[in-house]
A and B are shown apart, each in its own frame.
Chain A
Amino acid sequence: MDHSGEKGNLSQVQHVVLVLSGKGGVGKSTLTTELALALRHAGKTVGILDVDLCGPSIPRMLGADQQVVHQCDAGWVPVYTDTQKSLALMSIGFLLESPDEAVVWRGPKKTALIGQFVSDVAWGELDFLLVDTPPGTSDEHLAVVENLRKHKVDGAILVTTPQAVSTGDVRREITFCKKIGLRILGIVENMSGFVCPHCSECSNIFSKGGGEELAKLTGSPFLGCVPLDPQLTASIEEGKDFMQAFPESSTFSSINRIAQAVMASTEAA
């Protein structure tokens, strides 16, 4: 079906992937950021839409927190992290006057802004648009899915940490995906084990294997584990490109594998 007439600003976007989790702080934004960088290293042009309105982290994670959004005829111009314009970002973080400013909004206002984010950002040509979401199954998620309905969404990546308290929330998110007819590209187990930099002993701080178990239980593909890595948290803190800085680390290869799997499953569909 040809929707190009009504798709507007998203007409030149090839694939749309949502990053979801019922649980907060499991690494949705970190994974979105690293996945975007990995896809870019694979030669793709990538956009990130951050719809976490109360806690936007993406601008800082990509070292773009000082940037502002400009207007053009087609709408809002996203912020580019590089001169080749291969990685574009849009976040409410770019619209706030001070980084400490709180966005104390109830649902309907959030829904309205997300509608604008989906329709009014001039993304241009993109291979992938990754949508980073806040935790839960509420206003923001419904708003994104409803507004993207005109456009084909390839599917969702679900992020969890290994412990049962987290997989329990993600199980609910899977029900959400099924209810609204969103394809699950796969589950990622983040913060999976920590290797002590001194003695190389691996401690499973948040237990182990919960993500894979959940994937089996719900019949979803398992995309892999990402370990706890102080180098990754430090890169995220400083807005540095981890995928460029530590190509020899095991974290790099696990993220890269996830990126390859995402490319394979979206391009096959």
Chain B
Amino acid sequence: MADVPSNAPEHCPGTSSAQAGKSSSCQGCPNQAICASGATKAPDPAIEEIRVKMASVKHKVLVLSGKGGVGKSTISTQLAHGLAGDSTTEVALLDVDICGPSIPKMMGVEGEQVHQSGSGWSPVYVEDNLAVMSVGFLLSSPDDAIIWRGPKKNGMIKQFLRDVDWGQVDYLIVDTPPGTSDEHLSVVQYLCGAGVDGAIIVTTPQEVSLQDVRKVIRFCEKVGLPVIGVVENMSGFLCPKCKTMTQIFPPTTGGAEKMCLDMGLSFLERVPLDPRIGKSCDEGRAFLMDVADSPAAAAYRNIVRRVTEYCASRRHQGDAD
């Protein structure tokens, strides 16, 4: 059962919404009576199906930020590459940014297709132990725009979580769009049965970004999502010629570290700006491996280590319970 029936009017609030059957757009909809009865607001059966599906996935990590363009997808891809650097670790990367999917390009698998098999959608494999899924694989041309309202995006996310055949996976990393809206609520709700290990929050140093990121931290509190820690990205730029460090995005209010201190969160790492990161992403190459001796790569490796440690400690806690 999709969140929006195919015969619903354009502005359908979604069958599980509090407005279901009551909003002005429900007038005349053939499903209005059943929606208004409340029957559709029962927990979505997909939550249980997703829990069963996710039993083969050990750890689930979300990458979030209230602000756009701070490097969520870059951090997600480097984290995926870093974890998959150990050939015994199976890694999956899911891109739930429906309107702006960047993961296929950054992973160098743009233009690939997703295949349907008996056990669901087969993800695209970047390495033997690194699988990727994104709405980008479902588009026919790079010009294709997905102009979808919330309920339709939610349906897609549900399919991604329920119908992708990931197989045995150690880490599932979920890259999200900016904000605190449909996509985020859906991921968290659909995964509530399966359980999420936690979220990595990405920000840039300046207050304009931090103020959006504090909202996303409030969101995590509201929905009971543990925060693994905060990454400060684009933290200073080292001029390749004179080696002077410039804070292009100045941390006027103390940056992410101060915010973590104030809010009682772990500060994971500072990643500097490096023109080679953007270039690697554009070319779909793994920066972490290509320029392994750079300060940014060292920062990424540290993030990978912190995430592994966090997940391992959660596993132990889980065993003790």
A residues lining the B interface (CB < 8 Å): 22-26, 29, 54-55, 57, 60-61, 99-108, 110-111, 134-139, 141-142, 161, 163-166, 168-169, 171-176, 179-180, 194, 196-199, 201, 203-207, 228, 230, 233-234, 236-238
Q: Return chain A residues, CB-CB under 8 Å to B98.
A: 138
Nearest chain-B residue to A139 (Cβ)?
Answer: B149
A180 to B237, CA, bound (A): 40
CB-based contact A60/B145 at 8 Å: no
The reply to whether B211 and A165 contact each other, CB–CB distance below 8 Å, is no
B218 touches A102 (CB 8 A): yes
Residues of A within 8 A of B223 (CB): 104
- Chain A CB within 8 A of B56 CB: no
Alpha-carbon distance A236/B204, docked complex (angstroms): 14
User: Within the complex, which residue of B100, B214, B275 is in contact with A203, where a contact is CB–CB below 8 Å?
Assistant: B275
Q: How far is the CA of A176 from the CA of B68 in the complex (A)?
A: 19
Name the residue of chain A whose CB is nearest to the CB of B242. Answer: A199
Contact B147 A137, beta carbon cutoff 8 Å: yes
Q: Tell me if A233 and B17 are in contact (CB < 8 A).
A: no
B185 at the interface (CB under 8 A from A): yes
Contact A22 B246 (CB under 8 A): no
- Provide the residues of chain A in CB contact with B206, threshold 8 Å: 233, 236-237
B39 interface residue (CB < 8 Å to A): no
Query: Are the CB atoms of B148 and A103 closer together than 8 Å?
Result: no
Q: Which of B17, B179, B240, B249 is close to A201, meaning CB atoms less than 8 Å apart?
A: B240
Shortest distance between the CB of A108 and any CB in chain B (Å): 4
Complex Cα distance A135/B147, Å?
Answer: 12
| Count of inter-chain pairs, beta carbons less than 8 A | 220
For the complex with contacts A100-B211, A100-B215, A106-B17, 20 further pairs of A-B residues with Cβ separation under 8 Å are: A29-B208, A54-B178, A55-B212, A57-B211, A60-B211, A108-B13, A110-B181, A135-B99, A142-B147, A165-B105, A172-B142, A172-B143, A173-B145, A194-B248, A196-B239, A199-B241, A201-B241, A206-B278, A230-B246, A233-B250
Would you give the shortest CB distance from B223 to chain A, in whole angstroms? 8
Minimum CB–CB distance from B311 to chain A (whole Å) comes to 26
Cβ contact within 8 Å between A198 and B239: yes
Query: Which 3 residue pairs across A and B have the least CB separation, nearest first?
Result: A24-B68, A25-B69, A107-B150
| Contact indicator B242/A196 (Cβ below 8 Å) | yes
* Nearest chain B CB to A25 CB, angstrom units: 2
Number of interface residues of B (CB under 8 A): 71
* Among candidates B177, B204, B250, residue contacting A135 with C-beta atoms closer than 8 Å: B177
CB proximity of B64 to chain A, nearest CB, Å = 12
Task: Assess whether A106 is in contact with B185, with CB atoms less than 8 Å apart.
Answer: yes
Question: In the complex, are the beta carbons of B252 and A207 less than 8 A apart?
Answer: no
Q: Are B147's CB and A179's CB within 8 A? A: yes
Contact A104 B281 (CB under 8 A): no
Bound: A107/B12 CA distance, A: 10
Q: Which residue of B lies closest to A208 (CB)?
A: B275
Q: Which B positions have Cβ atoms within 8 angstroms of A?
A: 11, 13-14, 17, 19, 23, 66-70, 73, 98-100, 102, 105-106, 142-151, 153, 177-182, 184-185, 204, 206-209, 211-212, 214-219, 222-223, 237, 239-242, 244, 246-250, 252, 273-275, 278-279, 281-282
- The complex places the Cα of A171 from the Cα of B207 at a distance, in Å, of 29
- In the complex, are the beta carbons of B99 and A137 less than 8 A apart? yes
Assess whether B208 is in contact with A165, with CB atoms less than 8 Å apart. Answer: no
A–B complex contacts, Cβ < 8 Å, 24 sampled: A22-B100, A24-B177, A25-B67, A25-B204, A55-B67, A100-B211, A100-B214, A100-B217, A104-B180, A135-B177, A138-B98, A138-B148, A139-B149, A139-B150, A139-B182, A165-B278, A165-B282, A168-B102, A168-B142, A172-B143, A198-B242, A201-B241, A203-B239, A237-B206
Cβ-neighbour of B180 out of A103, A198, A237 (below 8 A): A103
Measured CB to CB, the nearest residue on chain A to B219 is: A102
User: A194 vs B182: C-alpha distance in the bound complex, in angstroms?
Assistant: 36
Would you call A174 and B215 a contact (CB within 8 A)? no
Contacts A54-B179, A137-B99, A173-B145 given; does A107 touch B275 at CB 8 Å: no
Among candidates A99, A108, A174, A238, residue contacting B211 with C-beta atoms closer than 8 Å: A99
Residues of A within 8 A of B19 (CB): 108
The distance in angstroms between the C-alpha atoms of A61 and B148, with both chains bound, is 30
A172 to B279, CA, bound (A): 21
Choose from A23, A134, A196, A206 the contact partner of B246 (Cβ within 8 Å): A196
Least Cβ–Cβ distance between B240 and chain A, in angstroms: 6
Nearest B-chain residue to A228, judged by Cβ: B248
CA A35 to CA B262, docked complex, whole Å: 35
Quote the shortest CB–CB distance from B283 to chain A (angstroms). Answer: 8
Task: Provide the residues of chain B in CB contact with A203, threshold 8 Å.
Answer: 237, 239-240, 275
**C-alpha gap A205/B234 in the complex (Å):** 10
Q: Which chain B residues lie closer than 8 Å to A141 at the CB level?
A: 147
CB distance from B45 to the nearest CB of A (A): 20
With both chains docked as a complex, state the minimum distance between the C-beta of B281 and any C-beta of chain A, in angstroms. Answer: 5
* CB neighbours of A161 from chain B (8 A): 69
Given A102-B222, A175-B144, A237-B207: A26 and B182 within 8 A (CB)?
Answer: no
Residues B218 and A100 in contact, CB atoms below 8 Å apart? yes
Given contacts A136-B177, A234-B250, contact A164 B282 (CB under 8 A): yes
- Known interface pairs A22-B99, A102-B218, A169-B100. Does A60 touch B239 (Cβ–Cβ under 8 Å)? no
Closest to B213 in A: A55
Cα A206 to Cα B282 with chains together (Å) = 10
Flag if A169 contacts B102 (CB, 8 Å): yes
